[in-house]
């Protein structure tokens, strides 16, 4: 991208009236094409609306001005600065052969919140340009999106890793080992997944990277020191490495008690389920509350009621969560409290609005369930008894 890196950085005041921007003040930034590249202007809203310049901006965005932090400049981690330094150096070379690497570097820095994408533009040739602003300095980068195919990303990722590791000509700075290494270049992880193509779920391009896990949490992602050790090492070459999927609308309230290993979910890559949907939850089961399925009968074939009337194994959210913990369910679980369950527990399935006293009782039981570990509240206003509710009962 010849000459497109050298663009005037973000100003601290209006280009027209020279008034300094206040922190959080709304302002307009615009790029104008010139014979030598692009010219940037920053405008207060008044000057932008009254401008007499008839040039049509190549790119335009509006946002709040962020005043620079007072005091010593922040020192970023070495890996971030190395990626930024490499991006600037390659763009200054103006060599089209670096287009793929430049794009991947820009995406890396965007993911690290060093760059923010302000706009996209398509040239007459069909090329897609992504316009980034460097958060700390306000520098503008116009980057060609090469529309890389998935099978080409691995090779570009290898080039980037090599360059960040000092393999590029021109004296690029060496990158630090990925987070988690200790003195002597050794690492103590529980699991290392090496050489896979990471798709992180953020919408960013897939990239070649190692993943290290310690104490059940991801401790490092990137080019791990080859000497790093772990109790379990997995070779993921030619395989995709992805986060577990979240089933945001699950009705596994009872299924996880019947089959706690949840093979039907795990084999699909689901590692977290959110249950208690549609206003119907497994707890608290009080009064006439019941689940609108045959899950109690299913559970009856697995474990028998412990002397409680009607075969109810728990009354509260705390007791339900305790029973789940005893079964050692495989997926992570987020439990919501169902409005229908709460309402039925207080006033049965009556076709009428709740009284003020009944509404207070529903709220009290909701608060208790939340205190006992529930993560939220769900409704199902097309189902009985939720369909009998008035708006003020929910709000």
C-alpha closest to that of 119 among 29, 197, 187? 29
Beta bridge partners of 229: 188
What is the model's pTM?
0.49
CB 317 within 8 A of CB 335: yes
Cα–Cα distances (Å) from 97 to 94, 144, 297, in that order, read 9, 12, 66
> Rounded to an integer, what distance in angstroms lies between the CA atom of residue 241 and that of residue 232?
16
CB 176 within 8 A of CB 134: no
> Rounded to an integer, what distance in angstroms lies between the CA atom of residue 56 and that of residue 275?
52
C-alpha closest to that of 334 among 279, 252, 255, 257? 252
Residue 385 preceded by cis peptide, ω within 30:
yes
pLDDT score of 278: 92
pLDDT score of 305: 42
CB contact burial 315-336 (16+ within 10 A = b; e otherwise): ebbbbbbebbeeeebbbebbbb
pLDDT score of 67: 73
Residue 15 preceded by cis peptide, ω within 30:
no
Using left for φ > 0, alpha for ψ between -120 and 50, and beta otherwise, residue 90 falls in: alpha
> Rounded to an integer, what distance in angstroms lies between the CA atom of residue 319 and that of residue 374?
12
3-state secondary structure of 244: coil
**Chain-centre distance for alpha carbon 105:** 19
Q: If residue 140 lies in a helix (H) or strand (E), which one and from where to where?
A: strand 140-145
CB 176 within 8 A of CB 79: yes
CB 264 within 8 A of CB 222: no
Radius of gyration of the chain (CA): 29
pLDDT score of 352: 93
DSSP state of 184: G
**DSSP alpha helices (H): ranges in the chain?**
45-50, 78-93, 99-111, 150-164, 255-258, 263-266, 295-300, 317-327, 339-347, 356-371, 391-394
In order along the chain (395 residues), what is the average pLDDT of each group of 10 residues?
45 84 85 76 88 81 73 42 79 85 88 84 88 85 85 76 54 38 54 88 82 87 81 86 92 86 91 94 82 55 45 78 90 94 92 93 94 94 90 85
**DSSP alpha helices (H): ranges in 267-389?**
295-300, 317-327, 339-347, 356-371
CB 272 within 8 A of CB 246: yes
Domains of the chain: 1-68 (no CATH), 83-162 (no CATH), 190-241 (2.30.40.10), 247-393 (3.20.20.140)
On the 0-12 / 13-18 / 19+ scale of CB atoms within 10 A, 165 is middle
pLDDT score of 329: 92
């Amino acid at each position: 991208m010849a000459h497109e890196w050298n663009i005037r950085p973000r100003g601290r005041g209006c280009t027209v009236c020279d008034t300094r921007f206040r922190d959080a003040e709304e302002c307009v930034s615009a790029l104008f094409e010139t014979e030598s590249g692009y010219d940037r202007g920053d405008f207060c809203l008044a000057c932008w609306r009254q401008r007499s310049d008839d040039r049509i901006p190549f790119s335009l965005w509006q946002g709040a001005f962020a005043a620079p932090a007072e005091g010593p400049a922040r020192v970023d981690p070495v890996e971030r600065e190395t990626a930024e330094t490499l991006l600037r150096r390659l763009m200054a070379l103006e060599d089209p052969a670096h287009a793929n690497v430049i794009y991947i570097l820009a995406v890396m820095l965007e993911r690290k919140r060093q760059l923010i994408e302000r706009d996209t533009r398509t040239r007459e040739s069909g090329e897609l340009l992504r316009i980034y602003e460097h958060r700390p300095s306000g520098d503008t980068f116009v980057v060609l999106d090469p529309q890389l195919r998935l099978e080409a990303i691995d090779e570009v990722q290898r080039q980037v890793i090599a360059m960040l590791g000092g393999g590029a000509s021109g004296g690029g700075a060496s990158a630090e080992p990925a987070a988690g290494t200790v003195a002597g270049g050794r690492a103590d992880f529980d699991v290392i997944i090496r050489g896979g193509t990471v798709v992180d779920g953020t919408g960013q391009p897939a990239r070649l990277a190692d993943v290290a896990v310690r104490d059940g949490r991801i401790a490092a992602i990137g080019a791990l020191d080859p000497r790093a050790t772990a109790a379990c090492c997995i070779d993921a070459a030619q395989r995709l490495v992805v986060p577990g999927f979240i089933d945001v609308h699950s009705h596994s309230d009872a299924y996880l008690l019947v089959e706690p290993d949840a093979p039907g979910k795990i084999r699909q890559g689901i590692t977290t389920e959110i249950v208690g949907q549609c206003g119907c939850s497994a707890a608290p089961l009080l009064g006439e509350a019941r689940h609108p399925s045959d899950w109690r009968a299913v559970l009856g074939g697995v474990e028998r009621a412990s002397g409680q009337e009607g075969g109810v194994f728990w009354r509260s959210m705390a007791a339900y969560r305790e029973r789940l913990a005893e079964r050692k369910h495989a997926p992570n679980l987020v439990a919501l409290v169902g409005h229908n369950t709460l309402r039925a527990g207080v006033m049965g399935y009556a076709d009428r609005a709740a009284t003020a006293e009944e509404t207070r009782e529903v709220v009290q039981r909701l608060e208790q369930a939340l205190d006992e570990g529930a993560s939220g509240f769900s409704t199902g206003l097309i189902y009985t008894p939720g369909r009998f509710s008035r708006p003020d009962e929910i709000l």
